[in-house]
């Protein structure tokens, strides 16, 4: 007999669900703070003043800032298999217009495209 396959809901997904359902205003305020500390570069990227992609902590959990910005802005509790992609290939950028959602395969493809062609700014 085959066991039905249930995808396990990750802790982070539950965290996002709770933020979106019960603390969306607080989370949006946090997004605002994050965006306010960025600097815009010549490509229109809003870059966090960090070496690695910025992280943030809220209500007992933490995640990457770009993922947080996307999920809160779109009221989406991303699953473990959904990745937030940078169309600009700058992982320190949190400009919502440069972020899009995909799966892990898309993310690998993005990386190959970047290595092969560089960034196509016309698409942004």
Tell the smallest beta-carbon distance from residue 124 to Zn ion (Å). 7
Residue closer to Zn ion, measured from CB, 82 or 95 = 95
Q: How far is CA 87 from the centre of its chain?
A: 11
Q: Where do we find the tokens 């959904």?
A: 82
Query: Which helix (DSSP H) or strand (DSSP E) does residue 101 occupy?
Result: strand 99-103
Nearest distance in Å: CB 38, Zn ion:
10
Closer residue to Zn ion in complex, CB, 108/124 = 124
In the bound state with Zn ion, the residue whose beta carbon lies nearer, of 27 and 93, is 93
Give least dist CB 57 to Zn ion, A.
23
Helix (H) or strand (E) holding 82: strand 82-86
Task: Find the angle CA(78)-CA(81)-CA(83) to the nearest 5 degrees.
Answer: 65
Closest CA to 17 of 95, 79, 96: 79
> Cβ closer to Zn ion: 45 or 71?
45
Minimum CB separation from Zn ion for residue 9, in Å? Answer: 30
Q: Write out the residues near Zn ion by the rule CB under 5 A.
A: 45, 88, 90, 93, 95, 98
């Amino acid at each position: 007999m085959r066991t039905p396959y249930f995808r396990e809901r990750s802790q982070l997904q539950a965290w996002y669900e709770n933020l979106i359902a019960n603390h969306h205003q607080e989370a949006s305020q946090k997004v605002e703070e994050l965006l306010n500390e960025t600097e815009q570069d010549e490509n229109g990227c809003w870059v966090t003043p960090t070496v690695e992609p910025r992280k943030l902590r809220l209500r007992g959990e933490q995640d990457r800032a770009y993922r947080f910005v996307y999920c809160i802005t779109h009221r989406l509790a991303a699953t473990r298999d959904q990745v937030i992609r940078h169309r600009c290939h700058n992982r320190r950028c949190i400009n919502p217009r440069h972020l899009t959602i995909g799966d892990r395969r898309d993310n690998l493809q993005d990386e190959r495209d970047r290595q092969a062609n560089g960034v196509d700014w016309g698409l942004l």
